[in-house]
Amino acid sequence: MAKHQMGSKVFGSSLCMASISLGNYVSSMLVNMVMKITAKGDKPGWIPDDLNTGHMDRFYFLLAVLAAFDFLIYLFCAKWYKPINIDDSQNGIEMEKQGDDVLAKV
C-alpha cells in the first residue's frame, strides 16, 4: 500500500473520531444547559436525578425542534449546492492529456 493512501486513511479515521468527540461534547453541553436553565428554585427541572419527577418529554421536544432547524439549514445548503457536470470534467481531463502529449513531443 502506498504511503499516500495510508496517510489518507489515517486522516479520515482521525476526522471521524474528532467529529464523534465534538458531538459528545456538544451533547453534554446541551444537557447541562437544559438542566441549569430549567431547574429554578424548588423545581427539579426537565432532567433531574430522579427522572420520574422530570419532564423528559419537553427535552425530547427541544431535540425535535433543534433537528427541524438543522433540517432547514440542510435544505438551504442543498438548494445552494450546484453539482458538477461529469461530461465537462471528462472533456477537461482529455484536453489535459492531449496537452501533456504535445509537451512530451516537444
Burial class of residue 30 in the structure, from the number of CB atoms within 10 Å of its CB (0-12 exposed, 13-18 middle, 19+ buried): middle
Per-residue pLDDT tens, the chain, 106 aa: give them.
455 556 678 888 999 999 999 999 999 999 999 999 999 888 889 998 888 888 999 999 999 999 999 999 999 999 988 887 776 555 556 656 665 665 566 5
Q: Which helix (H) or strand (E) holds 8?
A: helix 3-38
pTM: 0.62
